[in-house]
Amino acid sequence: MESQSDGRLMSVSEVLRILDIPRHRLTYLFESRKLKAEEFERLQNGQRVYRQNDLCKIKEALFEVSTK
């Protein structure tokens, strides 16, 4: 299996499992524009997919929200 440090695409469920957060927290980050949806890749079917560097962006946004 490939390591997560490469350019492998991850699904929303994989991201939630890796970060150990509920789906609503990720949804909030997009709805509040802490994360901009247009900066994240989407498949042709519209499903959002993530790379390792996207996890870093999500972690930063989660930290920013938790410190307010």
Question: Where do the domains of the chain lie?
Answer: 12-66
pLDDT (0 to 100) of residue 57: 96
pLDDT (0 to 100) of residue 3: 45
Round the average pLDDT of the chain to a whole number and report it. Answer: 90
3-state SS, the chain, equals CCCCCCCCCECHHHHHHHHCCCHHHHHHHHHCCCCCHHHCCECCCCCECECHHHHHHHHHHHHHHHCC
Span 30-57, mean pLDDT? Answer: 95
Query: What whole-number distance in Å separates Cα of residue 7 and Cα of residue 21?
Result: 22
Query: What whole-number distance in Å separates Cα of residue 46 and Cα of residue 16?
Result: 18
Query: What whole-number distance in Å separates Cα of residue 58 and Cα of residue 67?
Result: 14
Span 3-26, mean pLDDT? Answer: 88
Statement: residue 6 has pLDDT above 90: no
